[in-house]
A and B are shown apart, each in its own frame.
Chain A
Amino acid sequence: MRFNETACIVIGVSKYEDSGLQQLPGAVVDARGFFETATGGETGVCDLEKSSLLLNPTVQQVRDAIAEYIYESATTNLTIFFAGHGGETKSGYYLACADSEARKLAHSGLSLTDLFQMLNESDSIHVNVVVDACEAGGFAVDIPAISKSFEMGVAGGLSISLLALSSRNQSAGEAIDGSGGFGTKALLNTMLGSIDTGTNKSELSLADVAQLVEIQGGSQIASFWSFNLQGAPSFCRNCYALRHRSAEVFEPPVQGIPVSSNLTQDHREKLWLCYLQISKQVQPRKIYSVLSGILGDLEDNTVGSSVLPGLFESFSHKARESDDAFAPVILTSVFSMVAADIYNAEDLCEYFLRVLAEQLASTLSVLAADLESDTLFLLRGAGGYSEFFSLPQRVTLIAAWALSAVRIHEVVGFEPEPVQRSMRKILACLSRNYAGSFELISERQAPCIVVISALCAAYAEGDWAENHIGCLYHSYFNRRGKVAKNALPSKEVFSFLRHRLSDEDADYEKYCDRPSESLFALLAHYWISEELDIIRYDLSEVDGTVVGTFIPKNYQEFSGEIVSKGNNVYFRFGFEVFTIAELAAFFEQHLKPRVDHACRDTSQHQNCVALVASLVFPDRIPWQIIEDATGSG
């Protein structure tokens, strides 16, 4: 059992006994500077009392110090910083301590493999390793030693983040005025808040810092690796955000409370498979199922809720490698659902929503700029012909996410104005450049229609909704109701498009859903906006068509693959409904009261998670959001 404790071992070696190793006055300066920053209450997260500064130590002294942390202390988050000589030999990468010999580094240096093997002995610990030495990227050759750890992949087990402040073939320089090494200076610059990390978390991970480290003149390139499948990798305080926008800074949930690592081999393998897949494609249903399955197996909820943020740090780091701009957003959405569904933990749920709000703000801001600068941006790197099917859905989904981002900001208490600006730019660009793709082509657009209808009304974008939803509505009739079913497999998309362009009637067996939830959502829009008169004479065109929707018992459990508690309501035109008066009556009597009932005991955060769930898993509609538009909330 471990308790939350963060410490650092800071090593600086300026003086070498071997004349073959040049003296490095800047290394001790670097070590002192890093130690001061890492343990300074306003800048660092390490406990001063528990941390160690080793100046000009021998190899054995360093090994002993690390061993003490691993075997004797209660540290859950350890940072090891080294400034001094380092070099790659035929047998691996070595750090040179005071008693090391240049010609015999493999014999007298501190082996990184050796260090990693020691770390493998630990459990429930996150380790940051930062090396400012020549050829530091060379310790990539020692990384296989990490993967041998039986603790890798275990919930609450070992996790490691590695930052090399020079590449494998580069020297690490230091200033001639003795003010320290270039690499450490750049690192401290970021830690001390000279650069905006773009996040509002109160604490930064090494991954957050590493991506911003720019070493003077580009003479050294930093490399970063992370093997922290889970863990609580706080590295330093987020000085920039705390200084410039303290109102929006939020605390990550407490981590490092007792964690058991008794996950089965099956659990570990599933986590690894999910993790490795993320950079290629975020598969939200798979991640949700694995996480909720594993955490559901844990008897003690507190264990699960302590593991979840750690897993999130690792998974989201991987998601940032994805080519999809929305990968981190989708991933965070899934974690918010797991937190809300499985544990019903408001604080954890709120934490993920705050991270999601942040990610949406930055993702949408970049997207707005890209859409403005490139009229075909959404097709860059896209899949060619398949975009005839995907683009109309992506356009609708982007609009829905942009609008939802504003709502999420409001719910978590962030200033919504900046993301609202991005939302407006995005909607304008979509209208300007993608109006030809405003088309209802899949039932997966149904939740977006409701989100767009309700939130455009709430944020004074009613005209945009009228135009977009109007186009979707007309395309439904133009294509004679041939809208792809929600679960249409990718391999059927081609033949569906051929079917859609043909004169055949809609094939409900193979391609289309009955009842149609998307048509129900379109009609609901005209009811919400009190414009049913517009469609008064269209109802005879859909004679015989069945439309309907699912309304859950409540919105607290709205993310599972099957939402078991709830009811499907539907009607058939030409049987139960002939006129817009009857249509309005159906919405008033059978939709609204049920939605009101489902929303009764749901918190704002849970409603928000349900909204996000319907955008990620589009076979459910967030009807709770119409509360705002109809004014009954």
Chain B
Amino acid sequence: MGKCPLLSDEDSSEFMRSFAEQVSENTRYLRERYMDPQNVLKFSHGHSWEAPANELGDKKGTLQQHGTETEIRLADITEGRAHVIFDAINQVTQDMHDQMERMMFETMKEATDRTGQVVHAAGRPMPEAMYEMLEKMELPLGKDGELSMPSMFVHPSQSPKIMAELDKAGSEFEQRFELLKEKKKEAARIKEQERLARFERL
């Protein structure tokens, strides 16, 4: 068999670079549903990272590899079914994101188990559990000076039930919750003042 004619390595490698960039872009978009981009760090070398002076104990992390595969049928190319490119991107993006999501929740679970920041909701009203959750958390202030409230991830099947319970909890619970938020906000403000006061100034 002879050599194949008129191939271009450059076209092929540039195309796969764009393909990978698109997967990365899509994955980033999905990741930002869970994670504030302000909290994303980027490293160019090595496979581990460390914040040795972190007072909260969040000191070390290591790179975890995620991988997936995609296949292309040569007949799809000869028949000009170009949409399979974008089907493959969606499949790869979803695979990568699923792995990343799994890892993120596992990491979070490990951290909360370690620090005792766990609230058990079984057998009690959800609003109470949420109250306890907020009580246990140390929340920062956002740039606007308001409390930066946490995101809550629930299984889609549980969502209507929780919403119904929150509605049922009534105004008394709402007031208690608002009071707690005010208390948290004041605590966060003081904490932020203390943090800033640690700088040496003229």
Whether B19 pairs with A394 at a CB distance below 8 angstroms is no
The 6 residue pairs across chains A and B that have the minimum distance between CB atoms: A383-B12, A494-B18, A386-B15, A436-B79, A490-B14, A366-B2
- Contacts from B to A (Cβ < 8 Å): 1-19, 22, 72, 74-75, 77-80, 82-83, 85-86, 88
Bound CA span A379–B22, Å = 24
Q: Is the CB of A493 within 8 A of B4?
A: no
A383 adjacent to B78 (CB under 8 Å): no
Q: Chain A residues in contact with chain B, CB under 8 A? A: 280-281, 322-326, 363, 366-367, 369-370, 373-374, 376-392, 394, 397-398, 433-434, 436-437, 439, 489-491, 493-495, 497-498, 500-501
A100 to B22, CA, bound (A): 68
Instruction: Give complex CA distance A489, B74 in Å.
Output: 25
Contacts of A386 in B (CB 8 A): 8, 11-12, 14-16
Q: Name 13 extra pairs, CB < 8 A, besides A379-B77, A384-B16, A490-B15.
A: A379-B4, A383-B16, A384-B12, A388-B80, A391-B78, A398-B5, A433-B78, A436-B78, A436-B79, A490-B11, A494-B18, A494-B85, A501-B83
Residue contact A501 to B82, C-beta cutoff 8 Å: yes
Q: CB distance A383 to B9 under 8 Å?
A: yes
Knowing A436-B78, A436-B79, say if A383 contacts B15 (CB, 8 Å): yes
Min C-beta distance of B163 to chain A, whole Å:
37
**Can you give 19 contacting A-B residue pairs, CB < 8 Å?**
A322-B3, A323-B7, A325-B3, A367-B2, A370-B2, A378-B4, A379-B74, A383-B8, A385-B15, A385-B19, A385-B85, A394-B6, A398-B6, A436-B78, A437-B79, A437-B80, A490-B10, A491-B17, A494-B19
The A/B interface has a contact count, at CB < 8 Å, of: 129
Q: In the complex, how many angstroms separate the beta carbon of B17 from the nearest chain A beta carbon?
A: 7
A380 touches B77 (CB 8 A): no
Chain A residue, CB-CB nearest to B18: A494
If A388-B85, A500-B82 touch, whether A281 touches B9 (CB-CB below 8 Å) is: yes
Q: Contact check, A439 vs B80: say whether CB atoms are below 8 A apart.
A: yes
Q: A497–B3 Cα gap in the complex (Å)?
A: 27
Give A363 to B6 CA distance when docked, in angstroms.
12
A-side interface mostly: helix
Q: Whose C-beta in chain A lies nearest to the C-beta of B10? A: A490
> Quick one: given A366-B2, A497-B82, A497-B85, are A324 and B7 in contact (CB under 8 Å)?
yes
| B5, A382: Cβ atoms closer than 8 Å | no
Q: Which B residues are CB-close (under 8 A) to A392?
A: 80
In the complex formed, the residue of B with least CB distance to A496 is B18
Would you call A387 and B77 a contact (CB within 8 A)? Answer: yes
Give CA–CA (A437, B80) in the complex, Å.
6
What separation, in Å, do the CA atoms of A373 and B1 have in the docked complex? 9
A494 to B22, CA, bound (A): 9
- Looking at the assembled complex, report how far the CB atom of A38 sits from the nearest CB atom of chain B, in whole angstroms: 32
- Docked Cα-Cα span, A154 to B4, in Å, equals 33
Q: A323-B4, A324-B3, A376-B74 are in contact. Are A436 and B80 (CB under 8 A)?
A: yes
